[in-house]
Structure 1
């Protein structure tokens, strides 16, 4: 490693870490709290977890900028990092707002995190990590850290949020079908999936986070299946959506197939939905993520 490469590395590290600060305060502003007070006085673990997700998502995205070919100068490198760091920060906050206001209705995620609800924090953190993961892969896909890479990143962000919204709808629907009071005797779970999140069922949130991450991996796999150089922007985005939904469906189907084998004789509904068994939920999350990595290894 020569001196020029060392300087470039240091620039990347410094700029990336500098963006951690605005993400922290942007989340605090969204929640309507003081970041320092929540972390060291109130000891709000949920707020800390949500910040951790934001940091991961942002760094994931900025490593996508770093992984490209060396830029012509250090100034150009700094400008590129600043540009995508700003975009990454905005996309992370946008992802939180989309989940909070549109996808997971009937739950004020910001309010729940402010009140220390770890379930809400896990959901928000996982979503932000996935946003950054998808953005990182998109940058590698378009092979550009200049202005012409912004539109594909934003377009794939929109696709990813639609797919993740579908995942949330699926989880809500499955929970509703499993926990109908008129067909279940002595149920002690919340009436709805959203109600379980409000009640602080960490197991429900952990399982959902696993599915979000698995879906994020499925979306990134699409970059290996769509050739950006031989297609126009609209055609490429259309194929991204097609493959993203398809691969997410494949992973869900495989999960439903293998879950009874992995958790043989375990009543998943009783353990996770009713008893908030984090151990069982962790196995479910690991299964979905593992299946996503298997698909990744096969197709990429």
Structure 2
């Protein structure tokens, strides 16, 4: 009778053991990430999250934790093919690589992409806008890195090099996307730059730009369905992800512009979001960027 109501896919007998291993490793790595977040910022995570009620710090750490979980999900997808010990080692390896890349990505985002502000200092000073963008950049990095992890075959040095290539592509595309946004921003707001605006805590702009970052990462992740993995094709893997990623990003920009003109017709987005701090409208823009990216990604995946 139950079989007539629910048709389940047959599961291996050890699936619950693999689940326990994956969750145990993930929890340990998430706890490690929380401790590292405080150590790197030279603060106590318990004090910042509890006594100080630092929302910006909490949002930033939450983004890094979600980013780590996204990376671990890629490792978990193939963990049951490696045996119990192999599953644990695979989760641990990819988790540690994920933590390292998330950390490096935050440093690059701070020093190169948002090069005119001190992101860590702003987060300590409870700048929620910076926390939101920092969180979005971490998740964006993880989305593309996890996509590359699912694209590669195995966990050898060739796969690791491909993952590092995907990471480099991620930072390059996010840098270009941010610079394009900054150029458009200064055209509409000649009295202030994008980085000056978010340093003042302008949340609407932070939400709007976070949508750009997340949407770009989602659509670039679809490149794993368009490219063939070559274990020793180091240059072709890198250039392939960069060229296809940039092409998909351009397609997304065009589609989002069209979607905003139709869906948000009659609204002056620059005035409402960038000058009047309309968080609600910025949230809709963010959803349109992410939503269109999901549709494009679903098509090519």
TM-score of the aligned structures, taking structure 2 as reference length: 0.93
Q: Does 55-64 or 233-242 show the bigger shift?
A: 233-242
CA deviation after TM superposition for structure 1 residue 154, in Å: 0.8
Indicate conservation of the 8 Å contact 1:68/1:143, yes or no.
Answer: no
Deviation per residue, 1:143-191 (Å, 9 max, x gap): 323443211111100101000011111111111011124xxxxxxxxx1
2:297 corresponding residue in structure 1: 296
Equivalents in 1 of 2:296, 2:132: separation in Å? 25
Deviation per residue, 1:129-151 (Å, 9 max, x gap): 11211121111101323443211
Q: Secondary structure, in 3 states, of the residue corresponding to 1:298?
A: helix
Equivalents in 2 of 1:261, 1:134: separation in Å? 29
Query: Is 1:285 the equivalent of 2:295?
Result: no
Q: Does 106-115 or 251-260 show the bigger shift?
A: 251-260
> In the alignment, which of 144, 156, 162 is matched to residue 166 of structure 2?
156
Equivalents in 1 of 2:299, 2:17: separation in Å? 37
> In the alignment, which of 144, 150, 159 is matched to residue 154 of structure 2?
144
Indicate conservation of the 8 Å contact 2:182/2:194, yes or no.
Answer: yes
Indicate conservation of the 8 Å contact 1:109/1:120, yes or no.
Answer: yes
- Listed as ranges, the gaps of 5+ residues in structure 2 are 1-10
Matches within 5 A, 1:178-217: 178-181=188-191, 191-217=192-218
Equivalents in 2 of 1:165, 1:59: separation in Å? 24
1:252 corresponding residue in structure 2: 253
Deviation per residue, 1:57-78 (Å, 9 max, x gap): 0010011011026234312211
CA deviation after TM superposition for structure 1 residue 14, in Å: 0.6
1:127 corresponding residue in structure 2: 137
Q: Secondary structure, in 3 states, of the residue corresponding to 1:255?
A: helix
Matches within 5 A, 1:7-18: 7-18=17-28
Equivalents in 1 of 2:50, 2:13: separation in Å? 40
Change (3 A) 1:69 1:20: closer
Deviation per residue, 1:83-127 (Å, 9 max, x gap): 111110011111110111111111111111111111000111111
Q: Does 147-156 or 225-234 show the bigger shift?
A: 225-234
Query: Is 1:70 the equivalent of 2:80?
Result: yes
2:244 corresponding residue in structure 1: 243
Equivalents in 1 of 2:272, 2:210: separation in Å? 17
Q: Secondary structure, in 3 states, of the residue corresponding to 2:14?
A: helix
Equivalents in 1 of 2:15, 2:87: separation in Å? 12
Q: Secondary structure, in 3 states, of the residue corresponding to 1:70?
A: helix
**Count of aligned pairs:** 291
- Listed as ranges, the gaps of 5+ residues in structure 1 are 182-190
Equivalents in 2 of 1:3, 1:232: separation in Å? 38
Query: Is 1:57 the equivalent of 2:67?
Result: yes
Runs of 4+ in 1 over 3 A off after TM superposition: 145-148
TM-score of the aligned structures, taking structure 1 as reference length: 0.93
Change (3 A) 1:34 1:175: same
> In the alignment, which of 46, 65, 73 is matched to residue 36 of structure 1?
46
